[in-house]
């Protein structure tokens, strides 16, 4: 079965990696007074093809999404005329080329009107079911159409636990059609939980809980046959220990009838990876990373058919019935070693195997946020039902009532 293990990375690169041709956009000019760095959104498409697939690039992807949001806000705030206009009316522009190697768009922007504020209400998302009001909105549509490529909603300070954060929706193939083929809609949510919220268990959510980010998508991240097997997925990232530690969890749903037989003669046709049935399969991964020093990482992963099972901290998890590759360790130079027994995993300044095992245990559960905090946010939910439901809950929003 070692041969099958070596194919895990190839399968993961199909989920997160595309073979794309790039072309230069040099010489393009935009008459809209902000710039967009679409390259910040591309990092999940470059995960390395090793047995741990998503470990190396997930932090970069999260940083890229966060920086992309920050760049939009900073670009708007830096232009006083644009800001002044957008506080009083919808600022519109048509047929505008935007972004590095991006497409051509019709643009709308509206900022909070301090005299008669009318917030943008997002009725629901994959992380909250009750309506949320955001002060500001920026939208891109494919030029000359009603096809939405990007929507960004934010409050004035997304890190303020008294506000609703920021939420971004985008489709890579629409943002840069000559660069990406990923047709999935991706939802990025940035939120700062209020640790004094009585709905949080104080034994689970600690005072050093920092910013959380969720990345949820519906649809494949590629157009080839195998990439089309991906149905949905979610990544959850937490800043912990006063910003000294980065904690990561993910679940990716795969069609149980996918044909992976071309990857190995040991994999029969139309049985996906686990071989035993036709139920959907789920790739699972959790890790913690030191954010100082040698950037050490401890990781734990599994792959199962028919469910997303919470695994007790002392128990191992397997890749279907093929065995375990746990635990894996990484540092600033990349992969170090895997298949390390729990008792033999090294401890670092802030992380150890027990911490990672408890993090992994939350996969398959509603996690720290339970049924929702006082703001109605369920940011830590990695249950099977939620992962399956992303195909309908991750959507662009109808803003026609706002003149968008």
Q: What is the pLDDT of residues 61-116, one digit of tens each?
A: 777 888 888 889 988 988 888 999 999 899 999 999 988 778 999 999 999 887 76
pLDDT for the residue numbered 225: 59
DSSP 273: T
Give the span between the Cα atoms of 52 and 329, in whole angstroms.
Answer: 10
**Each residue's pLDDT tens digit, 130-170:** 899 999 999 999 999 999 999 999 987 777 878 888 999 99
Model confidence pTM above 0.95 = no
**Which of 391, 312, 402 minimizes the C-alpha distance to 92?**
402
Is residue 342 scored above 90 in pLDDT? yes
Q: How far is CA 398 from CA 139, 151, 402, in A?
A: 11, 10, 9
Per-residue confidence at 16, pLDDT binned at 50, 70, 90? very low
pLDDT for the residue numbered 261: 84
Is residue 30 scored above 70 in pLDDT? no
- Write down the mean pLDDT value for the chain: 85
Is residue 237 scored above 90 in pLDDT? yes
Give the span between the Cα atoms of 11 and 357, in whole angstroms.
Answer: 24
Between 82 and 227, name the one with better pLDDT: 82
What number is the average pLDDT over the span 234-242?
Answer: 92
Give the span between the Cα atoms of 171 and 181, in whole angstroms.
Answer: 10
Instruction: Classify each residue of 222-253 as buried b or exposed e, where b means 16 or more C-beta atoms within 10 Å of its C-beta.
Output: beeebbbbbbbbbbbbbbbbeebbbbbbbbbb
Of the segments 87-101, 228-242, 379-393, which one has the largest average pLDDT value? 379-393
């Amino acid at each position: 079965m070692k041969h099958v293990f070596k194919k895990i990375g190839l399968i993961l690169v199909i989920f997160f990696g595309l073979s794309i041709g790039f072309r230069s956009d040099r010489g393009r000019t935009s008459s809209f007074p902000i710039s967009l760095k679409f390259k910040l959104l591309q990092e999940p498409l470059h995960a390395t093809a090793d047995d741990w697939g998503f470990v190396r690039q997930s932090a970069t992807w999260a940083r890229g999404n966060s920086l992309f949001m920050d760049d939009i806000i900073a670009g708007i705030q830096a232009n006083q005329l644009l800001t002044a206009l957008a506080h009083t009316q919808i600022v519109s522009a048509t047929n505008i080329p935007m972004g590095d190697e991006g497409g051509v768009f019709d643009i709308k922007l509206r900022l909070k009107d301090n005299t008669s504020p009318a917030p943008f209400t997002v009725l629901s998302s994959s992380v909250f079911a009750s309506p949320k009001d955001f002060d500001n909105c920026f939208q891109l549509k494919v030029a000359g159409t009603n096809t939405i490529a990007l929507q960004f909603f934010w409050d004035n300070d997304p890190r303020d636990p008294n506000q609703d954060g920021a939420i971004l929706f985008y489709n890579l193939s629409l943002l840069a059609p000559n660069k990406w083929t990923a047709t999935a809609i991706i939802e990025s949510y940035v939120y700062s939980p209020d640790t004094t919220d009585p709905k949080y268990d104080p034994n689970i959510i600690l005072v050093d809980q920092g910013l959380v980010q969720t990345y949820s998508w519906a649809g494949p991240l590629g157009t080839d046959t195998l990439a089309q097997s991906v149905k949905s997925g979610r990544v959850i990232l937490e800043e912990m220990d006063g910003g000294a530690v980065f904690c990561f969890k993910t679940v990716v749903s795969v069609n149980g009838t996918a044909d992976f037989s071309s990857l190995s003669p040991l994999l029969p046709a139309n049985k996906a990876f686990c071989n035993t049935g036709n139920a959907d399969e789920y790739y699972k991964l959790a890790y913690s990373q030191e954010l100082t020093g040698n950037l050490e990482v401890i990781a734990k992963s599994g792959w199962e058919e028919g469910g997303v099972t919470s695994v007790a901290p002392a128990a191992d998890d397997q890749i279907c019935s093929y065995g375990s590759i746990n635990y894996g360790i990484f540092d600033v130079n990349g992969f170090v070693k895997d298949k390390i027994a729990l008792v033999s995993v090294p401890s670092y300044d802030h992380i150890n195997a027990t911490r990672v095992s408890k993090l992994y245990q939350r996969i398959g559960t509603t996690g720290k946020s339970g049924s929702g905090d006082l703001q109605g946010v369920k940011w830590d939910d990695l249950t099977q039902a939620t992962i399956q439901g992303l195909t309908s809950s991750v959507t662009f929003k109808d803003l026609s009532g706002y003149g968008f």
